Amino acid sequence: MASRSAREVAYETIRSRIITMDLKPGDELNDRELAQELGISRTPMREALIMLNIAHMVVIKPQSGTHVAPIDLKLMEMEQFARFTLEKEILNRIRGHLTAEQEAAYRLNLESYRQLERDPDAENRETRMLDLDNAFHRRAFELCGMEEHFDHMLSTFQHIERLRKFSLQTEENKSVCAAHTRILEAVLRGSEEDLSRALSDHLNRYKLSVEQARQHHPEYFTEGTVRPVDYHI
Q: What is the CATH number of the domain that holds 12?
A: 1.10.10.10
Q: Count the alpha carbons within 13 Å of 48 in the hemisphere toward its beta carbon.
A: 26
C-alpha to C-alpha distances, 27 to 17, 18, 30, 220, nearest whole angstrom: 11, 10, 10, 10
Residue 92 falls inside a structural domain: yes
Give per-residue pLDDT as tens, 106-131: 999 999 999 998 998 999 888 898 89
Whether residue 47 is found in the same domain as residue 93: no
Please check the confidence at residue 144 and state whether its pLDDT lies above 90: yes
Whether residue 17 is found in the same domain as residue 51: yes
Which domain range does residue 58 map to?
Answer: 6-68
Whether residue 89 is found in the same domain as residue 199: yes
Number of domains in the chain: 2
Whether residue 135 is found in the same domain as residue 200: yes
Residue 53 falls inside a structural domain: yes
Give this prediction's pTM: 0.81
C-alpha to C-alpha distances, 79 to 23, 52, 85, 231, nearest whole angstrom: 21, 17, 10, 12
